[in-house]
Amino acid sequence: MIKIGLDYYPEQWDEDFLPKDVEHMKKSGVKIVRLGEFAWSRIEKKEGEFDFGWLDRAVEEFGKAGIEVMLSVPTNTPPRWLFRKHPEIIKVGRGGGREQIGIRGHRCLNSQVLMEYADKITKQIVERYNASENVIGYQIDNEIEANWCGCETCNKLFREYLQGKYKDIDELNDIYGNQVWSGDFVDFEDVTTPPAYQNAWLNPAYMMDYARFAAKSATDYCEKIAELIRKYSTKEVLVTTNTWFPEHLPDYYKLYKNLDFVGYDNYPTTDVSNMASHAFHLDLMRGIKQDSFWIMEGLSGAPGSWGPMGETPMPGMIKGYALQAIAHGADTVLNFRYRTAKKGAEMFWNGLIGHDNVIGRRYEEFTDLIDCIKTFEHLGISDSKVVSEAAILYNVEDEMAFKLQHQSDGMYYLKSHMAWHRAFTRFGVGVDVVNGREDFMKKGKNYKILVAPCLYIYDEVTEKLLHEFVENGGTLILTPRSGVKDKHNNCLMKELPSWVRDLAGVKVKECDSIGNKQQKVLLLDEMWRKHLSDINISKPTDFDYIVSTQWCDILEVETAETLAVYASKFYDGEPAVTVNSYGNGRVFYVGTYFDDVGYESLLMSVLGKHDLKAIEAYKDGREIKGTNMYTILPEGIEVTKRVAGDRVITFIFNDAPVRQTFKYKGNEYDLQPFEMMVIGKL
C-alpha cells in the first residue's frame, strides 16, 4: 500500500494542539507520521530522568486515529547535560578545535561514550514502545554524513584503520607520495586526520583513505544502532536512516546494506530555472538497494532558515513531486512538515500549514495528493516496481575523489550523469542509477545500454562487469576522466582510458581542461547529423556542429571509428567521439561535455542502431520529421513505468512550470504545470 504521511514535532507545540492536529490528519487520510527526531533533551531532561509523557500521549493519540508512527533514535542532537559531562563526544574541526555546540549534528559518531549513551536512549525508547502496535519502526539519527572529525578517538581509529590496510609505514609513505614534499611519516603515530588545508593541497591518496574512513565511521555507527534497535525490539520493526547529498558523502550502498529501506529527504528546487535533476536523484535513491524507497521528508513549502527564503512551491508542486517520487519507486512519502515551526532556527523552513495555523493552499494540495493515491490501489501499484532497460553507473568513491580534486572549472562528478539522464528522459526511456562496484545486473536486470561516466578510480569488479556487459551485446558509453586513477587515488601510468582502452578502441593523446570555455565539435557521422537536425527542428541553426565545454580528450583511434572531431584550437580535426565494436556489443567514447542537444542527438543514434524492440518508447514512438521512430518528449515531461507481473502503470509527469501539450504513442496529452497523469492497464 502506498502511504502518505507527515513529519510532526509534538514537543514543539502546546499539548492542546495534539488532539486537534491528530484529528485533522486523520480526517485528511494521513497514514503515517515520523516523531521525535531531535527530541533527546525533552525525553531525558537530566541524565537518567525520563519524561516520556508527551511522546506517550502522541503515540497513543496517533494509535487511536489509526495512524502509524516511525520513531527516531535522536542522536543527532545529544542534550547539553551530556555535552557538559562528556565534551569529548563533540566533533573536532579541521583546525583542531572542538566545534561549538548550539545547532545540531555536533556529535562524533566514533565516540564510544556517545555510543554508550545512544545505547541507553535507544533501549529506553524501543522497550517503551514495544507494546504500541502503531509504532512500526525507527529512523536512526538524521541525515548522517561521513564523520569528518578530528577528535582523539577519530585520530586513533584512523591510524588503526591504516595499520590494518598497510603492511608498514614505509608502504603507506610510498603510496601517499610522502617523498614529494618531504612528508614521510616516521611511524603511524605521526598520522593524523586532515589538517585545515584545502583538500586538494593534501596528498590525494591520504585524503581518499580519510574520506573512506569517515564514510565507514557513519556506516559502522548506523549498523550498531540498528543492531541495538533490533535487540531491544520484541517485534518486527523497520529500521532506516534518512539521507541526501551532503558535502561529506557517506557510502550509500554500505550505509543501507543492513537497513530495511532507503529514506530520502526530497527537496526539489522550487526555482524553475534549475529544475532538471529531481528525477535523477530519485533514481539514484532507488538504485541504492535496487528496491522501493521512502521519502522521509518531502517538499511542503518555501525553503528557508539555512539561507534567505526561497520561492514558495507553485501550485501543483507539492502533489506533483510526491507523485513523481512514487513514479520513481517510492512507496511511502512523508511531507516535511505538518505545521511551520513557530520557534527555533528553522521557523522559516515552511511546512504545509503556516504560522497562522490556517489550512490553506498547500495543505489542501496535500489532501488532494492523498485522495489521488486512493485511486491507485486498484491499479495494483503496491507490489509494482520500476523497470528500466538502461542504466547509469554511479561510483561513490569516484564522486569522493572528484570532490577532493576538482578536475576543471565548473565540472563536477554528477554533471555528465545528469546530462545523460536528461537525454534518456527526453525519449521516455526509464533509467536506473546503479552502483558500479557490485553486480548491477543482479535481480534479473536486463540493461541494453549502460552509461558509465568518469570511471575515475580503478575497480576490478567494474572492469569485469563492463567487459562482460559489452561482450554479451550491450552498448556502453564512456566519458572523460576514465581510467585515470589507481585504487589509492594515485595516477595510473597508462595511456588513458587505461583499463577500458580495449573496450573503447581509442587512446587519449592529450587532455585539455577548458573549464567554462567552449569548443566546437564537428559531426562526421551522417546519422548523428540527421538526428541533430531532427532535434533542433525548433531552432534550426547549424546541424554540423555541437558546442562542447569543460573538458576535451584528444583521441587517437585504435580499433574505433570516429563519429565527431574537434573543430578549433591546435587539435582541430582530431577525434572527439568514437564508437568501437567489442564482442557482441559497442562502446561509445564521448571525449567531451556537450550541451543537451548533443547528448540527445547522440543518444538517438545509440538507440537507433540498437535493438529497438528493447526500448518500447522508440518502437512505438511518434514520428519526428516523418521518421516514425522516435518519441521526443517536451522538456520537463517524464514517462516512468512501474510493473507488477503483466500490469504496467505508466506515469506521465510535467516537471515544468508551464502547461504542455504533446503527443506520446499516438495520443494527445495536455498537462498543467506539475500535473501527473497515471495510466494503468490491467
Which residues are designated catalytic? Answer: 143, 297
| Residue placing its CB nearer to ligand GLA in the complex, 300 or 548 | 300
**Before 286, cis peptide (omega within 30)?**
no
| Residue placing its CB nearer to ligand GLA in the complex, 283 or 346 | 346
Rounded-to-integer distance, Cα 90 and Cα 614, Å: 54
Contact with ligand GLA (CB under 6 A) among 44, 143, 251, 616: 143
CB of 30 to ligand GLA, least distance (A): 19
Task: Provide the mask over 219-258, with x wherever binding to ligand GLA is found by CB under 6 A and - wherever it is not.
Answer: ----------------------------------------
Who contacts 492 (Cβ-Cβ below 8 Å, separation ≥6)? 458, 483, 484, 485, 486, 498, 499
Rounded-to-integer distance, Cα 517 and Cα 439, Å: 38
| Residue placing its CB nearer to ligand GLA in the complex, 145 or 561 | 145
CB of 306 to ligand GLA, least distance (A): 6
Contact with ligand GLA (CB under 6 A) among 265, 389, 534, 600: 265
Residue spans of alpha helices (H) in 505-635: 526-535, 596-609, 616-619
Q: In the structure grid, which three cell numbers stand for residue 44, read together?
A: 531525558
| Residue placing its CB nearer to ligand GLA in the complex, 105 or 177 | 105
Contact between 91 and 221 under an 8 Å Cβ cutoff? The reply is no
CB of 11 to ligand GLA, least distance (A): 13
| Residue placing its CB nearer to ligand GLA in the complex, 309 or 679 | 309
> 92: which DSSP letter?
B
Q: What is the strand order of the sheet 431-435 is part of?
A: 431-435, 390-394, 449-452, 475-478, 585-590, 575-582, 561-566, 506-523, 545-557, 592-594
Residues in binding contact with ligand GLA, number by CB under 6 A: 7
Contact between 30 and 67 under an 8 Å Cβ cutoff? The reply is yes
Who contacts 636 (Cβ-Cβ below 8 Å, separation ≥6)? 275, 276, 654, 655, 656, 660
CB of 265 to ligand GLA, least distance (A): 4
Scored b (16 or more CB within 10 A) or e, 555-590 reads bebeebebbbbbbeeebeebbbbbbbebeebbbbbb
> 353: which DSSP letter?
B
CB of 485 to ligand GLA, least distance (A): 32
Residue with the CB atom nearest ligand GLA in the bound state: 265
307-336: contacts with ligand GLA (CB under 6 A): 336
Contact with ligand GLA (CB under 6 A) among 129, 256, 349, 566: 349
Q: In the structure grid, which three cell numbers stand for residue 326, read together?
A: 512514487
β-strand pairing of 449-452 with 390-394 = parallel
CB of 572 to ligand GLA, least distance (A): 49
CB of 321 to ligand GLA, least distance (A): 14
Number of helical (H) and strand (E) elements in the chain, helices listed first: 19, 27
Kindly give the interhelix angle for 596-609 and 526-535, rounded to the nearest 10 degrees: 130
Task: Provide the mask over 279-308, with x wherever binding to ligand GLA is found by CB under 6 A and - wherever it is not.
Answer: ------------------x-----------
Contact between 230 and 238 under an 8 Å Cβ cutoff? The reply is no
Contact with ligand GLA (CB under 6 A) among 44, 346, 553, 616: 346
CB of 346 to ligand GLA, least distance (A): 6
167: number of Cβ within 10 Å:
8
Contact with ligand GLA (CB under 6 A) among 75, 134, 142, 650: 142
| Residue placing its CB nearer to ligand GLA in the complex, 295 or 381 | 295
| Residue placing its CB nearer to ligand GLA in the complex, 336 or 413 | 336
| Residue placing its CB nearer to ligand GLA in the complex, 265 or 283 | 265
Task: Provide the mask over 522-561, with x wherever binding to ligand GLA is found by CB under 6 A and - wherever it is not.
Answer: ----------------------------------------
141 contacts ligand GLA (rule: CB under 6 A): no
**Before 497, cis peptide (omega within 30)?**
yes
**Footprint of ligand GLA on this chain (CB under 6 A)?**
142-143, 265, 297, 336, 346, 349
